[in-house]
Chain A
Amino acid sequence: MSLDKATVAKIAHLARIKVPDSDLEQLAGELNTIMHWVEMLGEVDTQNVEPMTSVVAANLRRRPDAVTDGGYPEKVVANATDATENFFSVPKVVE
């Protein structure tokens, strides 16, 4: 199966990366090279094999549900391009 220009444009949109139309063709070529190469995984028998999500034990540790950190909003927003009164600012979303 091959990725066409429309599919690549859709992936770029999902990934929130602006890709100019003029670059779609080349990017599709690169992605197809990689996707065709990974097709070889189809040769592996994975019947009754559980997918491996982590090499460590599946049960995550628990801790008391207590506040152990925080109280320094100015540090949290210190790296923002645009912060107002300890809030992150973004372009207007609702008209």
Chain B
Amino acid sequence: MSLKLNYKKISPNILEACWPPEIRQSTLMEMMIMKKRIISEWYEELWDVNLGYHCLSLHFKDHFPLNEVVSKLENFSSEKFQQEAIKRKRWFIPVLYEGKDLQRVSEITKIDISDIVKLHQDKPYLLHFYGFMPGFMYLGGLSPKLFAARKDRPDPVIEKGSVAIGGKQTGIYPMDSPGGWNIIGKTPLTLFNLNKQPPIQAQPGDEIQFHSIEKTEFESIQKEIANHQFELKYEYI
């Protein structure tokens, strides 16, 4: 089976391979397999390989031979993608659902706060890619019932660990930042940690499962983190 990819040479150093413009899990998995191949083929020649929802970019250190690179990518994509398995993990993220904008989200969605909390952790979310700021996950799978427009006036500071809904997306602020998303909760975890290599553990293709915790548990996890006793929980999927 061959993938029908659209190749765009963006500059003498940058090539994008694009899948059909849709948000799909299968696209993400194909992109991850392709990315693995790309890195093993051109590790020395590349600055970076980045993902969006449907575009994979190859950023070369220098000019690259277009025909040669595209024909190799075509070869990669003609191989049987199904045979390749990417090891995927499901990460469990504890959340204290007491965000200051829960009432606002309840008014927009016309759903009770307790049901918002239930719905938000009902299913795992798919991590498509990182963008917007260091360690910020683009998560797919927010229930349309929870779509809630961003605020007209962004908050000057949204605290690190805040779990929020912005339009059709949900996410976790990895560091303090201004932002217009509706804050529904907070995780005690430090997801983006520059003292660790890599600074963040979840990979595109992994899943994020939120689960509700009480204030006492939030505080005990904070203590465990401070004492370096906390281990982020995950399972293979």
Partners in one complex: no
A: residues with CB less than 8 A from B are: none
Footprint of A on B, CB under 8 Å? none
